[in-house]
């Protein structure tokens, strides 16, 4: 069966080091050339896909598709709408481990990725036609209009892969201060700090895992300390603004709990000398997945259905309400544009989702930034 690997920094196509690029191999450990060629195109050529997380998502989708091709003895360049529909229908059935079908957003994401691959193959002359049809879809009137809707000449229609299934995305769900308190009860100093960073700065799990000691500058005289983070989604550096008390608590963790874990780890290996702030009890930097797993366990123990990303939603919604109130007396403030910068969103439309959140979720309206800080004390 097909195997999915990821490149290390030693992988240097064209003399440039690339880490995290997906590589698909067949059962004989040979490169699946069309798939690898497209994945390398995504990672090395396309300017809009600079995130290794996006590369991983594309690689995993193509890997799952190739496993289906091999299991059914299909040929990748001769499949048609029937095979594609069978693949989609299989994902709609209960899956082995969970007993539930895949989320419709996941199904559509995989189908769109496979569609991108085949359209690229068509453009490169590797196939004569793509294995699916497209159709014009009338966008729902309930969907909020984009910022350029007034110059849209599509007539409210969008060209889509006809195999995709109907999916109504849910609005982000912020956490209440009480839920945050319950989740943090009984956690270690390290895990509490990770949650504090996320809920007061909107930092992603990969970003908090990438925090290093040299980034903690500033003094207690400053209410907020600007911290530049470079390990971000898409590789776009941005500034977050943790409070000075949070910086001081993080420094205390580095001097105390972290130092103890590091001494223990060095006793087993003298080569360990990480710069990451948050370490495992073996002295190794915490990865993004470990951060997410830690929060998932804590949330489940507290009876709160949430993922780590909910902390980012919580920050965004509370900050938007704060900025809206500030704008009432200071017209120079643009709440949405300011929030876009704080969140590191490339597209303002992504930030605009939180306008609907604060308009429809009464708990957000009642929750202030001060309430969130109080929940962490």
Task: Let me know if 41 is exposed, middle or buried by CB neighbors in 10 A (0-12, 13-18, 19+).
Answer: middle
Share of the chain above pLDDT 90, in %: 53
Q: Is 166 helix (H, G, I), strand (E, B) or coil?
A: coil
Domain termination site, one of 161, 196, 218: 161
* Residues constituting the chain: 377
Phi and psi for 87 in degrees, rounded to 5? -65, -45
- In this structure, the answer to whether residues 92 and 203 fall within a common structural domain is no
Task: Report if residue 143 sits inside a domain.
Answer: no
Q: At 357, list the tokens.
A: 């959140």
Task: Report if residue 243 sits inside a domain.
Answer: yes
For residue 47, the model assigns a pLDDT of 67
pLDDT-based confidence at residue 221 (cuts at 50, 70, 90)? low
- In this structure, the answer to whether residues 243 and 126 fall within a common structural domain is no
Q: At 24, list the tokens.
A: 């698909």
Burial 260-289 (b: 16+ CB within 10 A, else e): ebbeebeeeeeeeebebbbbeeebebbbbe
Pairwise CA distance, residues 314 & 320, whole Å:
10
- The model's pTM is 0.75
For residue 372, the model assigns a pLDDT of 67
Pairwise CA distance, residues 118 & 131, whole Å:
8
Task: Report if residue 171 sits inside a domain.
Answer: no
Got the DSSP string for 180-218?
HHHHHTT--HHHHHHHHHHHHH---HHHHHT-BGGG---
Task: Report if residue 166 sits inside a domain.
Answer: no
Pairwise CA distance, residues 198 & 202, whole Å:
5
List beta partners, residue 161: 134
Q: Give how many domains the chain has, as a whole number.
A: 2
Q: At 93, list the tokens.
A: 């059935």
Q: What is the pLDDT of residues 122-141, one digit of tens each?
A: 999 999 999 988 755 444 44
CATH of the domain at 283: 1.10.443.10
Give the structural domain span for 16: 3-137+157-161
Give Rg (Cα) of the chain: 23
């Amino acid at each position: 069966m097909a195997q999915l690997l990821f490149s290390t920094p030693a992988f240097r196509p064209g003399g440039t080091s690339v880490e995290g690029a997906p590589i698909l191999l067949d059962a004989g450990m040979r490169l699946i050339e069309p798939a690898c060629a497209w994945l390398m195109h995504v990672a090395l050529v396309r300017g809009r896909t600079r995130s290794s997380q996006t590369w991983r998502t594309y690689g995993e989708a193509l890997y799952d598709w190739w496993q289906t091709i091999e299991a059914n003895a299909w040929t990748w360049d001769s499949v048609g709408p029937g095979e594609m529909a069978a693949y989609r229908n299989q994902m709609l059935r209960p899956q082995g481990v969970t007993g539930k079908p895949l989320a419709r957003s996941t199904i559509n994401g995989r189908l769109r990725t496979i569609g991108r691959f085949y359209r690229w193959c068509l453009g490169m002359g590797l196939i004569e036609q793509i294995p699916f049809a497209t159709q014009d879809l009338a966008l729902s009137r309930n969907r909020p209009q984009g910022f350029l809707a007034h110059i849209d000449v599509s007539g409210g229609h969008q060209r889509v892969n006809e195999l995709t299934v109907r999916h109504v995305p849910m609005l982000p769900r912020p956490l209440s201060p009480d839920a945050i308190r319950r989740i943090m009860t009984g956690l270690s100093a390290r895990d509490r700090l990770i949650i504090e960073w996320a809920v007061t700065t909107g930092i992603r799990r990969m970003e908090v895992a990438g925090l290093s000691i040299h980034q903690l500058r500033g003094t207690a005289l400053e209410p907020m300390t600007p911290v530049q983070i470079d390990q971000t989604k898409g590789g776009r550096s941005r500034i977050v603004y943790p409070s000075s008390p949070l910086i001081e608590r993080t420094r205390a963790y580095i001097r105390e709990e972290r130092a103890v874990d590091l001494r223990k780890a060095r006793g087993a290996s003298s080569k360990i000398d990480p710069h990451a702030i948050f370490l495992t009890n073996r002295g190794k930097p915490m990865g993004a997945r470990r951060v997410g797993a830690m929060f998932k366990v804590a949330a489940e123990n507290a009876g709160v259905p949430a993922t780590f990303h909910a902390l980012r939603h919580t920050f965004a919604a509370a900050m938007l309400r704060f900025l809206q109130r500030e704008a009432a007396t200071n017209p120079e403030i643009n709440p949405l544009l300011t929030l876009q910068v704080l969140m590191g969103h490339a597209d303002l439309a992504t930030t605009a989702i939180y306008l609907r959140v604060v308009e429809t979720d009464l708990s957000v309206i009642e929750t202030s930034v001060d309430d969130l800080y109080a929940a962490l004390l």
